[in-house]
Chain A
């Protein structure tokens, strides 16, 4: 059991103005498995992902990564969890603008001390980024940028990849290519994948599916 969530609540704002986003969500993701998170806009799927990554903390409920309670971790420990255990792919702004493609791909791996140049090079090749290593993110197309983001997320060999609408900013053809690559590579590296998408078509390609409706699994 890599990721376990039990009766998780999360609201934004405080007091009377508090807006509940998650109202008792539970899920379990085993190592090496994939799961899609679907739901309408505002159903809380991105928030759930952020909680899983330790970017934010839950108001109540239990979140455990590989048996470790996230609520018990302090900020540096959660940062370490992100660094070493999780690969993140967002809709946009995944890359560090001041670093070139190679440095971006290697960045998290080097942060977590697991940098393997050969593996990084393999990733680059598999992602079709050969020859682009010295370019900067702003010089790349949207599809290329997301491929670099996937490479960066996987190069650190995380046990869990968390993706939030990774193809949301891309056209359908490019998006499908990027998703194919991601699924392939996740499978090859044995990482688990939790992916937020609003597209039932994409959700169908993952092993399991959790549909959120107003902050509750439904």
Chain B
């Protein structure tokens, strides 16, 4: 589950400042003319690695936990959002597809970030599938997978912003994994859903640049692909999302959608080292905030306890940098975490809706 509301709301705030997530561009709950995710998807790659303009929102979302030769930890984020005003494409400025890029680099003491906006149709941003290439401005995610291999199995990722830059090679050591029912990921009891798959098995190497200083790094990366046309249920106003790589080779994707009226909605995917998945239903995951920090003037829970009794999991997460705030058009918290407890590991945490 990723920040589809981010895309909408961020662009909405161009128009009217911090607006409600639902209010942008006249998009209510109806899905005028847009396609709607349906169960039992039949993905077609590499085409489905590309954009789906008939759906309202879509993203290519990479996070990675990194380490340099001296053992210093880093986290990076590379995101390309697509948001459609109409379910079509067109040449030139008439293209109703809008694009937004977020990039970030965090250390234990600093958090760098940048944001880019673009319109489709003029070449400033977009996604091509053969060969695979996603870009906005000079930020890019380019496939250099060998013929026959999945296009996302080998990527070169680069971005730069004020004070930071990175250029990383990502090599997949496992297959794509599909969340929910074969990639049909339900978001609320009312039937809100998205298409959602990941590549959680990246080995990462390359260099980051911090204030002009280049540092060689290695680590693990995770890519999310998700698209849909339906926003959240009207009463859902934020979420807490985890992607964790355990030292033993298992992976976990887990999220909670906070509902201000009814019970929260949870979902998780347990991923074995070979890519075998188990989708865990609503209620299987228990999330407890342990500690709040003052972030950008508001309290944000930065340490968590995650319990998944079905898998004997009881862990605590600690942020690499509690101030991993993304003060973008639509602000949210996104940062690397370390995991201790029944299982140890590293991962990424995203929290939205802490206004």
> Are A and B in direct contact (Cβ within 8 Å)?
no
Residues on A facing B (Cβ under 8 Å):
none
* Chain B contact residues, CB within 8 Å of chain A: none
